[in-house]
Amino acid sequence: MSAKGRVFLLDDDQLIVSMLARALKKEGYEVQAETDSREVVEKIRSTAPDVALLDIRLPGKSGIDILQELTDQGIHTQVVMLTSDDTAETAVKAMKLGAVDYLTKPFDLDEVKIVIKGIVEKGNLMREVDYLRKVSSEILHQEIIGESAILLELMAKARKMATARVPTILLTGESGTGKELFSRYIHHAMHREDSYGQFPFIGVNCAALPEHLIESELFGHEKGSFTDAKADKRGIFEMAYGGSILLDEIGEMKQNLQSKLLRVIEERKVRRIGGRVDIPIGVTVFATTNRDIEEAVDTGEFRMDLFYRLNAFSLRIPPLRERRKDIPLLARYFLTHYSGKYNRKTLKGFSPEAEELLLSYRWPGNIRELRNTIERIVVLENEETILPDHLPKEILHQARAEKQTTRFDFILPDSGLSLEEVEKDLILQALEKAGNNKTLAAKLLNISYDSLRYQVKKFGLE
C-alpha cells in the first residue's frame, strides 16, 4: 500500500530522530531523517516532503534560520518546529516565519501523530479540491451506467485490477466511450476502504499542452531551470502521491518524453527539470488513447518498451454501438439529469419510435454524443414526450438511408445452397447488429418478435 505521506525530520539528537522516525514509519509515513543541518534547504527543496519537523536548537544553522531560508526561497513545505523552550516568544517567532505548528520536548507521540496526520490530510485535500475545481465543469457524473454483458464483464475486470492495485493501466477506445470515467471508477475502488479524500486523482491531457509544458506539468521544475521558472513547482507525479495520475491521449506524447516517462514508471522515481535529486513516487498511472496504439508502435511513433510496460494491464472500452442494450438506460439517465438541471421536470420519457431510432443509430461520438443529444433536446423542445422529430437530423438521415438500401440482389449458385443456413446466417447478423437485442433484430429482419424467437430456438442460437 502507498505511504500516507512524506515527512522530513531534522534533529541533532540521534535518539530523538530514531524514536520519531520509527513511530512515523509504523504509522505508514515515508520518513527522511537527518541530524546535520547542512544542505537541509536543498534536500527539502528536492524531495518536497508534505511536512518537515525542524529542531530549533541546532549546532551551526538553527531551525529558525532554516525556516527563514525556506520562506525566502518560496519553498512551501509545511513546517513544524521542535523545541524544548515552551515559551510564547518562541512559538510566535516560528509562526510569524510560516511554521504551521510547534511541538515541545519531551514529545507526546500521540500528539506528534495527530499534528502530522492533520497537516498531510489537509494538504492532500487542498490539492484534490484545486484539481476538481479545474475539471468539475467537464465531469458529468461518477457512475457507470449499463447492464450489457460486455460492460458487466469489463467492470468485473476493472475491480480485479483495483483489488490488486496494479501500478499501470492502459485504457483504449474511441473518443467519448468513457475512458476517464473508468479510470476514476478504478481509482475509487482502490481506495474505497480508505479515506478517499486523502488520495488525489490528477490528470493531464498530453495532446492539449505544448511539449515543454507537459514535461513541467508531469515532473515539476526547479526555480531558474528555464526562463519562466520563477519558483519551484511540484509536478503531477509528486502532487498525486498515494493516489492516481491520468495521462490522457498518451498516444500524442513525443518520443523523448516517452523515454523519460518509461524511466519514471519503471524506477518509481521522478526528477524535476533542473533538479539533481530523484524523488520517490507512489502513484497508479492510468494512460488513455483513442489511437490504434499498436499501429503507432509498428510505425515507430510510440515506443515499444513503453507500450509493453503500460499494456501489462489494459482495458478496451467498447463503443456504444457494441453495447446497444445500455442506450435506453443511458438516455433515461441523461434525461433525468438534465431535466433536473434545467428545471424541466415535466418530461416523461421517449416515445417507442424515438427510442427505436436511438437504438438503431451508430453513435460515432459514443456516450458523449448521446449525452449532448439529450441535453439539447431537454433545453430546446417543449413536449412532455420526446418524439422522432425532436432527434438530430443525422439520426433521422441514417434511418431513412437504411430504409432505402434494404433491397439486395442475390444470385443462386449453380451448386445450390441450404436455405436454412442462409436464414441462420441472416439471423446471426441481425442479432450482432442489434447488440443481441431481439426486438431490434426482429425489426431489422422485418419479422415479428415471436417469429424471431422461434427461429433462434430452431437453430439453437439461444
* CA dist list (Å): 387 to 161, 390, 399, 434: 42, 5, 14, 21
pLDDT at 263: 93
Residues 6+ apart with CB under 8 A from 220: 48, 232, 233, 234, 235, 237, 238, 270, 272, 273, 275
Q: What are the boundaries of each domain within the chain?
A: 6-122, 146-318, 321-404, 419-458
What amino acid is encoded at 360 in this protein?
S
Shared fold status for 6-122 and 146-318? yes
CATH class of 6-122: alpha beta
pLDDT at 3: 62
Residue whose grid cell is 430504409? 403
Residues 6+ apart with CB under 8 A from 258: 302, 303, 306
pLDDT at 174: 92
pLDDT at 209: 78
321-404 CATH pick, 3.40.980.10, 3.40.50.150, 3.40.50.300, 1.10.8.60? 1.10.8.60
Per-residue pLDDT tens digits of the chain, which is 462 residues long: 456 788 999 998 899 999 999 999 998 898 999 988 888 888 888 888 889 999 888 887 888 888 888 888 888 889 998 887 766 676 677 777 788 888 888 888 888 998 898 888 777 767 655 554 444 434 434 578 998 989 999 999 999 999 999 999 999 999 999 999 999 999 988 887 554 446 889 988 888 877 778 888 899 888 888 877 777 888 899 888 889 999 999 999 988 899 999 999 999 999 988 888 888 888 999 999 998 898 899 889 999 999 999 999 999 999 999 899 999 999 999 999 999 889 887 788 999 999 999 998 999 999 999 999 999 999 998 888 999 999 998 898 886 666 555 555 566 777 777 888 888 888 888 888 888 888 788 888 888 777 788 888 888 887
Single pTM value for the model: 0.61
- The rounded distance, in Å, linking the Cα atoms of 126 and 115 is 17
146-318: what fold? Rossmann fold (3.40.50)
pLDDT at 133: 46
- The rounded distance, in Å, linking the Cα atoms of 11 and 105 is 12
Give which of 272, 68, 284 is closest to 168, Cα–Cα.
Answer: 284
Coil, helix or strand at residue 73: coil
Coil, helix or strand at residue 56: coil
CB atoms within 10 A of CB 137: 7
- The rounded distance, in Å, linking the Cα atoms of 54 and 395 is 66
pLDDT at 278: 87
- The rounded distance, in Å, linking the Cα atoms of 357 and 364 is 14
Q: State the cell numbers at 338.
A: 438534465
CB atoms within 10 A of CB 372: 14
Bond from prior residue into 280 cis (ω within 30 degrees of 0)? no
Coil, helix or strand at residue 323: coil
419-458: what fold? Arc Repressor Mutant, subunit A (1.10.10)
* CA dist list (Å): 177 to 155, 271, 318, 336, 355: 14, 34, 7, 20, 20
